[in-house]
Amino acid sequence: MIMKKIFSDINKIATGLLFIGLTLASCKKLIEIPANPPSSITQEQQFADSLTSMSAVAGVYAYNTGNGFAYSDGALTYITGLSSDELSYVVDNDNQQFYSYTLTPLNGGISSIWSYAYQSIYQVNAVLNGITNNSNLSADFQKRITAEMKVVRALYYFNLINLYGDAPLVTSIDYSTTSHIPRTPVATVYDQIKADLADARQNLTANYPSAGRARPNLYTAIALQAKVNLYQKNWQSAYNEADSVIRLGNYVLESTLNNVFLSGSTEAIWQLPAKSSNYAVSDARNFVPSSATAAPNYLITDFLWNAFESKDRRLQNWTASKVVNGRTLNYPFKYKNISTTATPVEDQMIFRLAEIYLIRAEAAAHLNDLGQALADVNKIRARAGLENSPVNPTSQIAVLGAVMLERQTELFCEWGNRWYDLKRTGTAAAVLGAEKTGYTDNASLYPIPQGQRQLNKSLTQNPGYN
Amino acid sequence: MSKRLYHKILLIMRLTTVILIASLMQVSASGFAQLITINRKNVQLKSVLKEIRRQSGFDFFYDGKIITDDQRIDINIRNVTIDEALHNTFEGLNFIYEIEGKKIAIKKKPAPSLIEKVKSFFNNINISGIITNENGIPLNGATIKVKDSKILTKTNTEGAFTLNGVDENAKLIISFMGYEDMEVKAIKNLGIIKLKLSNNPLDEIRVVAYGTESKRFSVSSISTVSADVIEKQPITNPLLALQGQAPGLTISATSGIPGSQVLVQVRGQNTLNLNSSVNAPKPYDQPLFIVDGVPFASQNQNVSQFASMVAAQRTSDGISPSIGISPFSNINPADIESISILKDADATSIYGTQGSNGVILITTKKGKAGATNFDVNVNTSVNSVGRPVQLLNTQQYLQLRRDAYAADGATPSSDPADYNNYAPDLTIFDQNKYTNWQKLIYGQNTTNTDVHASLSGGSANNTFIISTGFNRSTYNYPGDFADQRFTLHSNQRHISKNDRLSVSLTSDFGYGQNNSAGFGGARDAILSPNLPDLLDASGKLLWTYKGVDLTSQQFYASLLKPTKLHNYNFNAAFNISYKLLEGLTISANIGYNRNNTNENSIEPGVAQNPVYLSRQSNFSDITFQTINVEPQINYSKTIGKGILSAILGATYKKNTNSSRYVTGYGYSNDNFLGSVNGASSVQANDDASIYRYNAGFARINYIYDQRFIINLTGRRDGSSNFGPGRQFGNFGAVGAGWIFSEENIVKKLLPILSYGKISGSYGTSGSDGVQAYQYQALYKPIAFIPPFQGIAPSSPYNLYNPDYSWALKKSLNIGLDLGFFNSRLLLNATYYRNREGNQLVNYPLPIQSGISSVLGNLDAVVQNEGPEFSITSTNIQNKDFSWRTTFNLSFNRNKLISFPNLAFSSYSSAYAIGEPTSVVYGYKYKGVNPTTGLFEYYTKNGEVTSNPTYGLATEGGDQAAISDQQIKYMGGFGNTFSYKQFSLYIFCQFSSQNAPNYLAEVYGSSLIGLMYNQPLEVLNNYWKKPGDIAQLQRLGSSYSSISTSSALSFAQSSGVYRDVTYLRVKTASLSYKLPVSFINKVHIKGGSVFMNAQNLLTFTNIKVGDPEQPSTFSSFPMQRVLAFGLNLNF
Per-residue pLDDT tens digits for B353-391: 778 899 999 999 998 888 899 999 999 999 888 888 899
Please indicate, yes or no, if residue A300 is contained in any of the structural domains. yes
Pairing of strands B171-175, A87-89: unpaired
C-alpha A344/C-alpha A257 separation (Å) is 14
User: What residues are paired with B60 via a beta bridge?
Assistant: B104
User: What residues are paired with B893 via a beta bridge?
Assistant: B865
Name the average pLDDT for chain A: 90
Please indicate, yes or no, if residue A256 is contained in any of the structural domains. no
Residues present in chain B in total: 1130
Q: What is the pLDDT of residue A142?
A: 96
Q: Select the residue of B698, B793, B848 nearest A170 (Cβ to Cβ).
A: B848
**For residue B167, which amino acid is it?**
D
B149: confidence class by pLDDT, cuts 50, 70, 90: confident
Residue B138 has pLDDT above 80, yes or no: no
> How close A213 comes to chain B (CA, Å)?
11
> How close B67 comes to chain A (CA, Å)?
23
Residue A92 has pLDDT above 70, yes or no: no
Alpha-carbon distances of A429 from A27, A432, A435, A443, A444, rounded to whole Å: 70, 6, 10, 10, 9
**Is the minimum CB–CB distance between B1026 and chain A shorter than 8 Å?**
no
Ramachandran angles phi, psi of A445, nearest 5°: -115, 140
Using the beta-carbon criterion (under 8 Å), do B716 and A26 form an inter-chain contact?
yes
Range of the structural domain that residue A303 is part of: 277-343
Best to test chain B binding among A55, A72, A450 (most B CBs inside 10 Å): A55
Using the beta-carbon criterion (under 8 Å), do A33 and B698 form an inter-chain contact?
no
Task: List the single range of A377-386, B118-127, B680-689, B769-778 with lowest mean pLDDT.
Answer: B118-127
The chain B residue lying nearest A9, using CA atoms, is: B639
Q: Are B946 and B934 in contact (CB under 8 A)?
A: yes
Q: Are B354 and B283 in contact (CB under 8 A)?
A: no
Contacts of residue B1078, defined as CB under 8 A and 6 or more positions apart, other chains included, come to none
A338: confidence class by pLDDT, cuts 50, 70, 90: confident
Query: Which residues in chain B are contacts of A178 at CB distance < 8 A?
Result: 848-850
Range B175-187 average pLDDT: 79
Task: List the single range of B140-149, B497-506, B993-1002, B1106-1115 with lowest mean pLDDT.
Answer: B140-149
C-alpha A251/C-alpha A358 separation (Å) is 14
Please indicate, yes or no, if residue A103 is contained in any of the structural domains. no
C-alpha A384/C-alpha A381 separation (Å) is 5
How many independent structural domains does chain A possess? Answer: 1
Query: Which residues in chain B are contacts of A14 at CB distance < 8 A?
Result: 646, 698, 700, 712, 714
C-alpha B242/C-alpha B339 separation (Å) is 8
Query: Which residues in chain A are contacts of B693 at CB distance < 8 A?
Result: 31
Contacts within 8 Å (CB) and 24+ apart, A322-326: A322/A289, A322/A295, A322/A296, A324/A295
> How close A247 comes to chain B (CA, Å)?
29
Query: Which residues in chain B are contacts of A42 at CB distance < 8 A?
Result: 776-779
Q: How remote is the C-alpha of B763 from its chain's centroid?
A: 23
B319: confidence class by pLDDT, cuts 50, 70, 90: very low
Residue B403 has pLDDT above 80, yes or no: yes
Contacts of residue B306, defined as CB under 8 A and 6 or more positions apart, other chains included, come to B563, B599, B601, B618, B620
Using the beta-carbon criterion (under 8 Å), do A178 and B849 form an inter-chain contact?
yes
B220: confidence class by pLDDT, cuts 50, 70, 90: confident
Using the beta-carbon criterion (under 8 Å), do A17 and B694 form an inter-chain contact?
no
Query: Which residues in chain A are contacts of B691 at CB distance < 8 A?
Result: 33
Question: What 3-state DSSP class applies to A166?
Answer: coil
Q: Select the residue of B641, B779, B844 nearest A46 (Cβ to Cβ).
A: B779
Query: Which residues in chain A are contacts of B697 at CB distance < 8 A?
Result: 21, 25
Percent of chain B exceeding pLDDT 70 equals 93
B415: confidence class by pLDDT, cuts 50, 70, 90: confident
C-alpha B18/C-alpha B12 separation (Å) is 10
Residue B151 has pLDDT above 80, yes or no: no
Q: What is the pLDDT of residue B20?
A: 44
User: What residues are paired with B339 via a beta bridge?
Assistant: B225, B362
Best to test chain B binding among A3, A36, A106, A454 (most B CBs inside 10 Å): A454
Q: What is the pLDDT of residue A265?
A: 95
Range B833-839 average pLDDT: 93
**Is the minimum CB–CB distance between B534 and chain A shorter than 8 Å?**
no
C-alpha B1037/C-alpha B1010 separation (Å) is 5
> How close B396 comes to chain A (CA, Å)?
40
C-alpha B722/C-alpha B693 separation (Å) is 11
Best to test chain B binding among A40, A61, A107 (most B CBs inside 10 Å): A40
Please indicate, yes or no, if residue A57 is contained in any of the structural domains. no
Residue B878 has pLDDT above 90, yes or no: no
Q: Select the residue of B720, B850, B903 nearest A173 (Cβ to Cβ).
A: B850
Q: What is the pLDDT of residue B120?
A: 59
Contacts of residue B1082, defined as CB under 8 A and 6 or more positions apart, other chains included, come to none
Task: List the single range of A79-88, A150-159, B26-35, B426-435 with lowest mean pLDDT.
Answer: B26-35
B121: confidence class by pLDDT, cuts 50, 70, 90: low
Alpha-carbon distances of A56 from B134, B780, B781, rounded to whole Å: 74, 9, 9
Ramachandran angles phi, psi of B5, nearest 5°: -65, -40
Q: What is the pLDDT of residue B1039?
A: 87
Residue A19 has pLDDT above 60, yes or no: no
pTM: 0.82
Q: What is the pLDDT of residue B107?
A: 78
Q: Are B870 and B819 in contact (CB under 8 A)?
A: no
C-alpha A194/C-alpha A221 separation (Å) is 10
Percent of chain B exceeding pLDDT 90 equals 42
Torsion over CA of A287, A291, A293 and A296, rounded to 10 degrees?
-10
Please indicate, yes or no, if residue A46 is contained in any of the structural domains. no
C-alpha B172/C-alpha B1003 separation (Å) is 75
Ramachandran angles phi, psi of B981, nearest 5°: -85, -10
Residue B111 has pLDDT above 70, yes or no: no
CA atoms within 13 A on the CB side of A89: 19
Q: Are B492 and B504 in contact (CB under 8 A)?
A: yes
Using the beta-carbon criterion (under 8 Å), do B956 and A106 form an inter-chain contact?
yes
Q: What is the pLDDT of residue A129?
A: 95
C-alpha A41/C-alpha A27 separation (Å) is 25
Q: What is the pLDDT of residue B310?
A: 73
Using the beta-carbon criterion (under 8 Å), do B712 and A14 form an inter-chain contact?
yes
Contacts of residue A195, defined as CB under 8 A and 6 or more positions apart, other chains included, come to none
> How close A191 comes to chain B (CA, Å)?
19
> How close B377 comes to chain A (CA, Å)?
45
Name the average pLDDT for chain B: 86
Range B528-555 average pLDDT: 91
**For residue B407, which amino acid is it?**
A
Please indicate, yes or no, if residue A27 is contained in any of the structural domains. no
Q: Which of residues 806-845 of B touch A (CB under 8 A)?
A: 844-845
Using the beta-carbon criterion (under 8 Å), do A54 and B852 form an inter-chain contact?
no
**Is the minimum CB–CB distance between B979 and chain A shorter than 8 Å?**
no
Residue B859 has pLDDT above 60, yes or no: yes
Q: Which of residues 705-734 of B touch A (CB under 8 A)?
A: 710, 712, 714-720, 727-728, 730
Using the beta-carbon criterion (under 8 Å), do B785 and A64 form an inter-chain contact?
yes
Residue B924 has pLDDT above 70, yes or no: yes
Best to test chain B binding among A8, A17, A47 (most B CBs inside 10 Å): A17
Q: What is the pLDDT of residue A138?
A: 96
Q: Are A14 and B707 in contact (CB under 8 A)?
A: no
User: What residues are paired with A204 via a beta bridge?
Assistant: none
Closest by CA to B813, choosing from B835, B836, B834, B832, is: B832
pLDDT tens-digit series, residues B261-318? 898 999 999 988 765 454 557 888 899 999 999 999 988 888 888 777 776 554 444 4
Q: Please name the residue ranges forming H helices in A30-107.
A: 43-46, 50-61, 71-83, 95-99
C-alpha B373/C-alpha B730 separation (Å) is 48
Pairing of strands A327-332, A319-324: antiparallel
**For residue A41, which amino acid is it?**
I
Range A401-420 average pLDDT: 96
pLDDT tens-digit series, residues B454-512? 999 988 789 999 999 999 988 888 888 889 999 999 999 999 888 889 999 999 999 99
pLDDT tens-digit series, residues B1022-1059? 999 999 999 999 999 988 889 998 999 999 899 999 99
**Is the minimum CB–CB distance between B847 and chain A shorter than 8 Å?**
yes
Range B880-896 average pLDDT: 94
Please indicate, yes or no, if residue A303 is contained in any of the structural domains. yes
More confidently predicted of A449 and B1117: A449
pLDDT tens-digit series, residues A293-334? 788 999 999 999 999 999 999 999 999 999 887 888 999 999
Residues present in chain A in total: 466
**For residue B491, which amino acid is it?**
N
Using the beta-carbon criterion (under 8 Å), do A40 and B797 form an inter-chain contact?
yes
Contacts of residue B991, defined as CB under 8 A and 6 or more positions apart, other chains included, come to B244, B967, B969, B970, B971, B1061, B1062, B1107
Please indicate, yes or no, if residue A307 is contained in any of the structural domains. yes
Ramachandran angles phi, psi of B428, nearest 5°: -120, -45
Question: What 3-state DSSP class applies to A109?
Answer: helix
Query: Which residues in chain B are contacts of A28 at CB distance < 8 A?
Result: 718, 727
A422: confidence class by pLDDT, cuts 50, 70, 90: very high
Q: Is the dihedral of CA B252, B257, B261, B262 positive or negative?
A: positive
